[in-house]
């Protein structure tokens, strides 16, 4: 994992994306007890703003990794032994990257999405497996409730969150 993060940091330094943060299940795992997952979701902010009608082109990023000898396995690119998925971040996800928490993993600097933004992102996705992670985060992570409410209201997720909490 350490070497995967080193590659991601190099990519950021080379300008292949403006910023990144670990998202998805691995970010949740940072704040909860360990659970099974297979891939490392990396939310990236591209150098250029994404317009609504635009086709997102990550070919420069893929080309860079291909030239370094990394190979694909299904939807993942295996970077230093870890399946990575790059997810261009817009809106809520972009803000989640910008307000991510800077951490170190075995001495390598990286950034991870905060539990408050993760709850909003998982609620927004709304699949059963996402709801399980919301429950885990609410039970086990230190949540800034005020911050969470601001995010949920900003992205019209507050009512959904209330319904989720009521559902037990």
Site of interaction with other proteins (CB under 8 A): 1-2, 29-38, 73, 76, 78, 80-83, 103, 105-106, 139-141
CB of 119 to other proteins, least distance (A): 15
Helix axes 115-125, 145-154, angle to 10 degrees: 40
Output 129-133 pairs: Cβ under 8 A, ≥24 positions apart. Answer: 131/164, 133/25, 133/28, 133/32
Q: Say whether 105 sits in a helix, a strand or coil.
A: strand
* Residue whose CB is less far from other proteins, 135 or 160: 135
CB of 2 to other proteins, least distance (A): 7
What is the Cα–Cα distance from 129 to 60, expressed in whole angstroms? 32
CB of 105 to other proteins, least distance (A): 6
* Residue whose CB is less far from other proteins, 80 or 90: 80
* Residue whose CB is less far from other proteins, 21 or 157: 21
CB of 72 to other proteins, least distance (A): 12
Pairing of strands 40-45, 82-88: parallel
């Amino acid at each position: 994992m350490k070497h995967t993060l080193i590659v991601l940091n190099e990519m950021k330094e080379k300008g292949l994306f403006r910023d990144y943060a670990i998202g998805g299940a691995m970010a949740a795992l940072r704040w909860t007890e360990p659970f099974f997952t297979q891939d490392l979701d990396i939310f990236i902010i591209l150098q250029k703003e994404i317009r609504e009608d635009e086709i997102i082109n990550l070919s420069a990023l893929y080309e860079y990794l291909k030239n370094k000898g990394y190979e694909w396995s299904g939807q993942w690119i295996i970077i230093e032994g870890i399946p990575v998925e790059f997810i261009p971040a817009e809106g809520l996800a972009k803000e989640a990257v910008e307000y991510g928490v800077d951490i170190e993993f075995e001495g390598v600097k990286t950034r991870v999405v905060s539990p408050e933004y993760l709850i909003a992102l998982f609620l927004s996705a709304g699949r059963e497996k996402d709801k399980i992670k919301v429950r885990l985060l609410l039970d086990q992570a230190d949540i800034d409730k005020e911050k969470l409410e601001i995010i949920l209201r900003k992205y019209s997720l507050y009512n959904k969150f209330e319904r989720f909490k009521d559902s037990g």
